[in-house]
Amino acid sequence: MSYTYTFWFAMAGLLLGHGFVGMGVGGVIGFVLDNLRYSQRRSAIPETGGYISPLFALLGAIAKSDGRVSEAEIATAERVMTRMGLDARARQLAIQAFNTGKQPEFDVSGPINALRQWVGLRRDHAFPLLDVVIETVLAEGNPSPEKMAILRQLAFALRISDMELMALMAMKGYVWQQGAAGARGRAYSTGGGYVPPQRNTQGPDPYAVLGVTRDADERIVKRAYRKLISEHHPDRLGDLPEEMRKRAESRASEINAAYERIKAERGFK
């Protein structure tokens, strides 16, 4: 714990209180402030591994939400466990949670609230969690409305907007349906949900990745880029598993690439 406030308040008390009594009073005030700051920082740091059970329970519920858990969804869950480097105990915990989540009438509000509490003030931890959930949502290709409803419920609980969720989906080559013709000939259907766009060698739509429209001015584009890159930077992820760090690095690369493409297209620095 840092004692910055303790020191400076003690010095202020010594100078303003004309002696050691003032120094003592100032030191006590500073010590209380240092403790409050330390407590706030601790509450903002997620507990290591505290997300495993609620996350995999939610993945099980998503897989079952359209009536049947497919082999692709089971394979996706197993792949996530392997990439996270779960040991035997954590892996068994994840399997049990996944099986619990796919039971009929399972209430997803429980794991969603648990994940919200685990993330706390760390929005940068919300994105890797959503990334894992999106992988399960898209395991079979075009997702069902039931799966999308759970995904959006989680995003809302983690304070992630629809625009930010669209950006995460765009990084995986998917775009939000708007019920109208999309940019550059992409087909949007009239229902809600996600559809795979026509892929090209340049990657996903850079505007969708940054979460801005094609008519956004330079100021809006730059502001969106700075916000995204600060929230997705892997150096901010603390104690998350290496797999989630790699996901964050990949997203940061996508964001940088999208911004560079827009700069080249628009001709601004």
For residue 127, being part of any structural domain is answered with yes
CB 216 within 8 A of CB 164: no
For residue 166, being part of any structural domain is answered with no
DSSP state at residue 107: -
- What does the pLDDT read at residue 51? 83
Assign 3-class secondary structure to 137-203: HCCCCCCCHHHHHHHHHHHHHCCCCHHHHHHHHHCCCCEECCCCCCHHHCCCCCCCCEECCCCCCCC
Same domain, 83 and 127: yes
CB 84 within 8 A of CB 56: no
The total of structural domains in the chain comes to 3
Same domain, 58 and 155: yes
Q: Label residue 33 exposed, middle or buried (CB < 10 Å: 0-12, 13-18, 19+).
A: middle
| Residue, of 217 and 199, whose pLDDT is higher | 217
| Domain termination residue (choose one: 102, 126, 160) | 160
- What does the pLDDT read at residue 194? 46
- Section 66-76 average pLDDT: 91
pLDDT digits (tens, 9 = 90+) for 108-138: 999 999 999 888 877 777 888 888 899 899 8
Exposure string over 101-113, b if 16+ CB within 10 A, otherwise e: bbeeebebeebbe
Share of the chain above pLDDT 70, in %: 66
For residue 167, being part of any structural domain is answered with no
Count of alpha carbons within 13 angstroms of residue 111, beta-carbon side: 26
Same domain, 124 and 203: no
Q: For position 242, which CATH number holds?
A: 1.10.287.110
> What tokens appear for 261 in the block?
């493409």
* pLDDT at 101 > cutoff 60: yes
Average of per-residue pLDDT values in the chain = 75
pLDDT digits (tens, 9 = 90+) for 149-168: 999 999 999 998 887 887 78
Share of the chain above pLDDT 90, in %: 21
Same domain, 191 and 230: yes
Q: How far apart are CA 230 and CA 116, in angstroms?
A: 20
At 194, give phi and psi (nearest 5°).
Answer: -125, 145
- Section 80-103 average pLDDT: 89
Same domain, 60 and 145: yes
Q: Give the count of beta carbons closer than 10 Å to the beta carbon of residue 214.
A: 12
Same domain, 155 and 56: yes
For residue 146, being part of any structural domain is answered with yes
> What is the pTM assigned to this prediction?
0.61
For residue 170, being part of any structural domain is answered with no
For residue 205, being part of any structural domain is answered with yes
For residue 168, being part of any structural domain is answered with no
Residue 35 domain boundaries: 4-43
- The confidence band for 17, taking pLDDT boundaries of 50, 70 and 90, is low
Same domain, 19 and 83: no
pLDDT digits (tens, 9 = 90+) for 220-257: 888 888 887 777 666 665 556 666 666 677 777 878 88
At 94, give phi and psi (nearest 5°).
Answer: -65, -40
Same domain, 202 and 141: no
For residue 174, being part of any structural domain is answered with no
Q: For position 62, which CATH number holds?
A: 1.10.3680
